Amino acid sequence: MARPSIVPIALTVDDRTGFTLWAPPWEEDGEEWQAFLGTSEDDRARVHLFPTPDALAAFCRTRTDHDLADHPVWPVVVGLGAADLTPDDDHRYDLDGVYDIAAENPDRWSVEELAATIDIVTRLAECLDVEDDDADDELTDTDDEPDVDDDIELERRADGAVARGGEFGALAELVSRPEIGSLGLGVEAFVGRSGEDAWIGVGSALDDLWEDVLDELGTHLDWTGGGTVSLDDYPSAAEADEDDYDEDDLEDDAAAAARPVGGATAAASAGVSTIARPGRMAASPAEVAKAAEFWEAVGILPVEVVVPEGAGLTLRCYVEDRARFLGRDGEVFLFGSPEDLTRFCRGSEAHDLTEIASWPEVADTTTPPLPADQDRYDLTETSEVLAEVAGGAGGLVDHRVLAQQVEGVRDIAEYAGLARVEELLRPDAPLGRAVARSERVPDTPLRAEDAAALRPAWDEVVTEVSSALVFRD
């Protein structure tokens, strides 16, 4: 289970864009929960939406009468400004635009965007479906005692309740369509004649049901921000996009990269830019496990690395216990998708894995290079964690957060000859001592003062590692 976090998101519905917060699933008291910024009145759960990140930040600073107030990282969110609560591109959902996307030919981006939009609506429905909760109560409440606390909250167990219908019957029917389910398989599900038919089925399902889905959702959207704003405060979606564009034009690339923004968590770190597309790789556990049979057999494993400049895939093996990557002259080649990496492997360009005995099998395989969880190294997330803890989330994160990322860092530093990284990770250096502690006593809480001291060293590590990565087409 991922650590508790809160993510700023934006929803565009009926030519109006609203900003709010989403708490992705986290575990508490042995149960999995997720939540949105909202409240419940008159037996109806509502999500609070705001016309700007500034209005959202003002609400967070002054109000506690909502369902995120008891979230573990809410004390951090209270201190964030508008820049921190501005969603990144991966957390902006245009519910008006699904028809236009479905009308295009399917590619990786259109499939992922449709899948993400339907996913966030499904998550909203899981938290908002009051009727479904009432039905569950009727099925499970067999005693004769009156219910002491029947308050309905926007915080819900993350159990996929929408699949049973309730207030969201149209959405339940939509997600039950096999073509819609195929979106989660990626663009490969829409290749060939059968794939073309499946994509047509996606469009037909949306034509039949999407307006009803928006009607169901619309009754739960509070565009007044809990009574703090009015509808007149909202620009049209087009005007909002123009405002974003004008603001971006005023900043040079370096300033934009340094500006703190929301993203993987609400408390994104200053000095770390958002992850550029193509983003983090996604595949189901079953797909990863199936692919792993081949990659483990050949002894060369797919690896994902995420740094401020972007996210990419590469390959790694060990020769006499030393890491060797898909690259050359100490540079690690990264690719934006499994398809791009596969295409390179089938080519003739020389690199440092060519001499590995099993390389001909890699060059000929159709098995996608999908990294296992233990081979994913998100260096930006560690930066964000350190920023959160330093900002007041001490005690919520333990030292184990360092262990896996440092494994990937050390391998890259060894391959690329990054002496400064080795120096920063020496056992007598502050970061090195913290890493050693993560190996000895991983469940030791990370204190705010420790995180504040470690973050500059970690940021230097990330900069050094980034210098050895080459993003390839």
Per-residue pLDDT band at 385 (split at 50, 70, 90): confident
Distance CA 407, CA 333 (A): 18
> In this predicted structure, what is the pLDDT of residue 133?
52
Provide the H-helix boundaries in 299-426.
338-345, 359-364, 379-388, 400-416, 419-424
Residue range 128-155: average pLDDT? Answer: 49
> In this predicted structure, what is the pLDDT of residue 401?
83
Sign for the pseudo-dihedral over CA of 361, 364, 365, 371: positive
| Nearest CA among 374, 375, 394 for reference residue 386 | 394
Helices and strands (H, E) in the chain, number of each type = 18, 15
pLDDT digits (tens, 9 = 90+) for 274-321: 223 334 566 778 888 899 999 999 999 999 999 998 999 999 999 988
CA 153 to chain centre: 24
CB 11 within 8 A of CB 49: yes
Please report, as a single letter, which amino acid is at residue 279.
Answer: G
Per-residue pLDDT band at 368 (split at 50, 70, 90): very high
> In this predicted structure, what is the pLDDT of residue 243?
56
> In this predicted structure, what is the pLDDT of residue 451?
87
Angle between helix 448-467 and 400-416 (nearest 10) = 30
Does 91 score more than 60 pLDDT?
yes
Tell me what percent of the residues of the chain surpass a pLDDT of 90: 55
Per-residue pLDDT band at 332 (split at 50, 70, 90): very high
Strands (E), 142-194: 156-157
pLDDT digits (tens, 9 = 90+) for 388-428: 888 776 566 778 888 889 999 999 999 999 999 999 999 88
Residue range 19-39: average pLDDT? Answer: 87
| Nearest CA among 307, 454, 294, 297 for reference residue 388 | 454
**Residue 469 — φ and ψ, nearest 5°?**
-100, 135
Residue range 439-443: average pLDDT? Answer: 80
Least confident of 2-11, 167-176, 185-194: 2-11
Per-residue pLDDT band at 439 (split at 50, 70, 90): confident
**Residue 62 — φ and ψ, nearest 5°?**
-115, -10
> In this predicted structure, what is the pLDDT of residue 93?
95
> In this predicted structure, what is the pLDDT of residue 167?
84
Of residues 459 and 153, the one with the higher pLDDT is 459
Q: Which residue has the tokens 């959702």?
A: 217
pLDDT digits (tens, 9 = 90+) for 52-74: 999 999 999 999 999 899 888 89
Per-residue pLDDT band at 346 (split at 50, 70, 90): very high
Of residues 144 and 20, the one with the higher pLDDT is 20
Least confident of 244-253, 304-313, 348-357, 444-453: 244-253
Does 135 score more than 80 pLDDT?
no
